[in-house]
Structures are given as structure tokens and as C-alpha cells.
Amino acid sequence: MSQPVGRWLARAALVGVALVALGAIWEAYKDWGPTDGVKLFGTRVLPRTTDASMPHLSRIWHAFGDPEVGGAITFGPSKTVFDSVFDSAVHTLRWAAAGFAIGVLVGMLLALLMDRLAVFERALMPYVVLSQTVPLIALAPLVTKWGQGWDFWDRWMSVAVIAAYLAFFPVAVGMVRGLKSPTAVHADYFRCSAASWWHTLVRLKLPASVPFLVPSLRLAAAGAVVGTIVAEISTGLEGGIGRLIITYSQQATGDPSRVYAAVIGAAALGLTALLAIAAFDLALWRYHRGATTR
């Protein structure tokens, strides 16, 4: 109840402190670091400190307020960089959410199947693991091609499918472990109570798998966001943050602050996804092992 909330706030505060520290290191390096960066054996391991490589944080901050100049003069209230970043982040978030939902659904179904029949686990698990070694870049054109066969298919759906491809994996693996987590005593008790498969699932296995599922969902959410951004770029879908990062970096000649602004937008997007999972986690506190012990 209040305890998990308190612990959670303390953790959030710590994350804030880390962010400030990171900003301080950035600024300190920019002011005092060597102009040409740091090289080790001919490879640059730390970036140049020029404005073209590392803009001041304040410059990035101001970049959000810059008017968006897409070449043509737009009528009506002019869009700022912030507006663009925000809008594209929202688009990407929506696609990622769709991909996440599909991924979680597929992952859970696979886990249920693998839990129900050991044959499935032995047969499927190697492929589940193997699936993650296929590079997304190779997958993108394939998925796009499949989609072209259907009338209802929109291009964002290909992106969502690719995001789902990354998201389903941790869910499937975590959930299988979770479903198997009840002890022998619990299993015996449910059998003695003549509980059906469905009742055992809903009253025992699913609640018991929550502590395993939450970390899986966190990985799946991060995977869905990364997958969406990569898929946007590799399928050439416009309107999302991935595409915006590419556009800005092509525009940036002397001033990369907009690229950083877009990257910050992408980071905020990932953070939003993780916060959603954290809220879910918080809502299910009673299913955590020993949640009420001190």
C-alpha cells in the first residue's frame, strides 16, 4: 500500500539525481575536455567538444523552441521543434503500444501452450530463442512485403509487427517460468480440490507468475519502442520519431542540437513506456512474493 509507493518515490528521486549528474558530466566535459576528443590507438573514444558534436544542454533546450522549417512556409501558427518531436513521439508510442500488445498476447499464448504440454516447450523453446537472432533489418522488408498482399494493411502495421517480434520473446520466456513457479504443495492442493485447468490457471498459475511477468513486460516495452524506431527507419515509415531523427541529422550541418532534441524525445518515449509498466507493477503489488512481509 503506502510502503511500495514510498519505495517507488525514493527510486524515482534517485533516477532524477542520476539525470542531473549525467548533465553535469556532459557540461564539464564540454568545457574542460580536449577540443579534438580523446583518442586511443587512433580510435576516438570520447567525442570532440565542439558545438558541432556536443552542443550545450541549454542549446538543446532552446532547440525545442526553434520553429520547424521544413522548407515551405506554413500558414497558421508555426510548428516548433518541440511540437514535431512531441507529435512524432506520440505516433511512435502508438505503434509501439500496438506492437507491445501483440507481442504480449503472442508471448502469453506461447507460454500457456508450453506450460500445458511439455512437448510444446521442448519443440518451441529453441525456436523462440532462435527467433531473436534474426536481425530486424532483414525482417523489415519481409514483413512489409507480406502486408502488401492485404487491402486492410497499413504501413504502420508492419512496424507494429516488427516491434511485436522483439516484445514477445521476454514475455514468453518469463511467463513460462512464472506459470511453473507454484510449489508442489500448491499443485497438490489444487488437484485435491478437483480444480479445473482453467481454475488452476486463473486462481494459481497466473497470480503466481506476476513477479516473473513484470520484469518481462519491462523488457518487452523497451523492446517494442526500440523495435518501432528501428522498423520505422528500415521500412521508411514517416511521422514517427525514428524518421524524425534521420531527417534532423540530414538537416544538421553545423548544429546537431535538433538531433539531440529528437533523441531526448525518443528517450522520453521509452521512459513513458517503462512508467506505464511501473504503474501496472504497482497496481499488482499484492502478487509480489512476500509483498506484505517486512
Partner 1 sequence: MTEPETSPGPAPAPAVHLRGVGKTFAARRGTVVALEEIDLTIGSGEFVSLIGPSGCGKSTLLRIVADLLPPTTGEVAVNGKPARRARLDQDYGIAFQQAGLLDWRTVQANIELPLELHGVDRAKRRARAGELIELVGLSEFARHRPPQLSGGMQQRVAIARSLAESPALLLMDEPFGALDEMTRERMQNELVRIAGETGAAVVFVTHSIPEAVFLSDRVIVMSARPGRISDVVAVDLGPRTDDTREAPAFYAAITQVREALRGRPVPATADVVADVEKARRNAAEGAL
**Are the beta carbons of 68 and 83 closer than 8 angstroms?**
yes
Output 73 or 194, the one with its CB closest to partner 1: 194
Q: Considering only 30-38, 52-60, 90-98, 281-289, which stretch makes contact with partner 1 by CB under 8 A? A: 281-289
Site for partner 1 in 203-242 (CB under 8 A): 203-204, 207
* Smallest gap from residue 293 Cβ to partner 1 (A): 4
Output 28 or 282, the one with its CB closest to partner 1: 282
| 206-235 and 241-251 helices, crossing angle to 10° | 40
Residues 6 or more apart in contact with residue 237 via CB below 8 angstroms: 155, 156, 158, 159, 231, 243
Select the residue interacting with partner 1 from 22, 188, 238, 279 (CB under 8 A). Answer: 188
* Smallest gap from residue 153 Cβ to partner 1 (A): 42
Q: Is 146 in the site for partner 1 (CB under 8 A)?
A: no
**Are the beta carbons of 230 and 99 closer than 8 angstroms?**
no
Nearest by Cα to 209 from 72, 84, 75, 114: 114
* Smallest gap from residue 222 Cβ to partner 1 (A): 27
As a whole number of angstroms, the distance between CA 213 and CA 106 comes to: 14
Q: Is 191 in the site for partner 1 (CB under 8 A)?
A: yes
**Are the beta carbons of 218 and 280 closer than 8 angstroms?**
no
Select the residue interacting with partner 1 from 7, 116, 145, 289 (CB under 8 A). Answer: 289
Output 105 or 284, the one with its CB closest to partner 1: 284
Q: Is 276 in the site for partner 1 (CB under 8 A)?
A: no
As a whole number of angstroms, the distance between CA 239 and CA 84 comes to: 9
Q: Considering only 12-20, 67-75, 143-151, 195-203, which stretch makes contact with partner 1 by CB under 8 A? A: 195-203
As a whole number of angstroms, the distance between CA 245 and CA 1 comes to: 41
Which residues make up the interface to partner 1 (CB under 8 A)? 183, 185-186, 188-195, 199, 203-204, 207, 286-287, 289-293
